[in-house]
Amino acid sequence: MPARQPTANGKGERMLSFTEFTEELITDCKTVLRSEPGDSIEIEKGTVNKPQKGTLTGLRFIKEGNRVAPTLYAEDLYARYTQGHPIDKIAHEAVESIMQSFDISLPFPEDDFDLKDMVSDIRPRLLSKERNHKIAETAPYMDVGGGLMLIADVVRGDFRAMVTKEMMIDSDITDDELFEIALDNVPEDEAVLFGLPDMIYTPPEERTELLGAGRDGSAAEDFDVYILSNRDMFWGAAALFYTGVMDRLREMLGDFYVIPSSVHELLLLPVTADADPKNISQMIWSANRSVVDEEEVLSDDLYICESDSLKIAVCGRPPGDTEPDSTDGSNEDNAACDLE
């Protein structure tokens, strides 16, 4: 959490620093918890590495007899405080949320979290190595080139748990086997491709899913820009690396550029003489700072998919930057971006 200079809030009171706020919040939460009936609950403060969010200050609420401890992140609560919400109200709402979490039946076993028993629930997720370097230290990952990596999650319903190196120790599963399992678990029809205009202007029930259209032998309509994701449109950027998807896309589009629109989807543009990679790259850089939520940014770089691999076409640079780039998709591009 970057250091903040305390200032006055809207009531003219001195604004607490993040550290001061966190300590006072913990004290207030303990006060509220003492008024709650039932087993005692302890609060443990620590750092947590979260995909796309970096290192956060986690407040774990530990209830005797419960192996799973709900966690709140002080950064999220401090943001509410800086918006004018009083600490005592934030503490009451935090405790209420935690008490409700204890009543939720989790889809993961509380007494023995054994990865071997969850093999069928492992799925891949695509992240930037640079933005998630702390995750790369604690979780197995598969390098897919261009500064991008796949991590593995155990997914059951709406719950998602990242596979960590610690979880792998007793699993008898190697890193290579983990990602082979994750990709094999993805259903054949999980990846979806739509023309961007179709996605924007056509009601969902009337859209034509183009990868499926290709599978059943019907002709796919041509578009200038396509959107690729999974059926939930959630963490769908990984769809490019689902088994057989990249090959199928090259059959349909030839060589194509990949715009990392967000962690949830990718935009694909067939390579044509009219396409200006530098302009596209600058558009990506600007969009990531003005349109895309910071927690959903995948990369500033423009990629090109040719042959059977994904490579950087143009390194992400601020608009107006005239520093020369190589656009031949060579391995030197990756090194020039300082992403390894």
Cβ-based neighbours of 276, under 8 Å, separated by 6 or more = none
240 shares a domain with 179:
no
Of the candidates 184, 216, 242, which is a domain's last residue?
Answer: 184
- How much helix, strand and coil, in percent to the nearest 5, is found in the chain? 35, 25, 40
* Average of per-residue pLDDT across 123-149: 95
**Residue 324: pLDDT above 50?**
no
Tokens of 151: 């991590």
* Average of per-residue pLDDT across 68-85: 91
220 shares a domain with 174:
no
330 shares a domain with 213:
yes
* DSSP symbol at 168: H
Cα separation values, 14 from 5, 24, 274, Å: 11, 14, 56
**Residue 293: pLDDT above 50?**
yes
Give the H/E segment covering residue 92: helix 87-102
- What pLDDT, in 10s, does the model give residues 103-114? 766 666 655 668
Give the 3-state secondary structure of residue 128: strand
* Average of per-residue pLDDT across 314-340: 51
Of 85, 120, 125, 96, residue with least CA distance to 239: 125
The angle at the Cα of 293, spanning 291 to 294, to the nearest 5 degrees, equals 115
Domain assignment present for 3: no
CA distance 198 to 181: 33
230 shares a domain with 214:
yes
Domain assignment present for 280: yes
State the burial class of residue 71 (Cβ atoms within 10 Å of its Cβ: 0-12, 13-18, 19+).
Answer: middle
CA distance 21 to 19: 5
* DSSP symbol at 40: -
Please give the pLDDT value at position 335: 35
Please give the pLDDT value at position 303: 96
Domain assignment present for 107: no
Please give the pLDDT value at position 9: 55
To 10 degrees, what angle do helices 18-34 and 74-82 make?
Answer: 100
* Average of per-residue pLDDT across 121-147: 95
**What does the buried/exposed string (b/e) look like for 260-292 if buried means 16 or more CB atoms within 10 Å of the residue's CB?**
bbbbbbbbbbbbeeeeebbebbbebbebbeeeb
296 shares a domain with 195:
yes
Cβ-based neighbours of 27, under 8 Å, separated by 6 or more = none
**Phi, psi (rounded to 5 degrees) for 124:** -90, 155
Residue span of the structural domain in which 72 resides: 18-102
209 shares a domain with 157:
no
**Residue 291: pLDDT above 60?**
yes
Tokens of 261: 């629109």
Domain assignment present for 111: no
214 shares a domain with 85:
no
| Radius of gyration in angstroms for the set of CA atoms belonging to the chain, rounded to a whole number | 23
Of the candidates 134, 166, 184, which is a domain's last residue?
Answer: 184
* Average of per-residue pLDDT across 182-191: 95
The per-residue pLDDT of the chain, averaged, comes to 85
> Is residue 123 within 8 Å of 155, Cβ to Cβ?
yes
Of 173, 182, 202, 199, residue with least CA distance to 265: 199
Q: How many distinct structural domains can be found in the chain?
A: 3
**37-41, 135-139, 248-252, range with the lowest pLDDT:** 37-41
312 shares a domain with 258:
yes
Domain assignment present for 231: yes
**Residue 99: pLDDT above 50?**
yes
More confident residue, 40 or 269: 269
* Average of per-residue pLDDT across 182-207: 94
Query: Could you tell me the pTM of the whole model?
Result: 0.79
Domain assignment present for 4: no
Domain assignment present for 230: yes
219 shares a domain with 167:
no
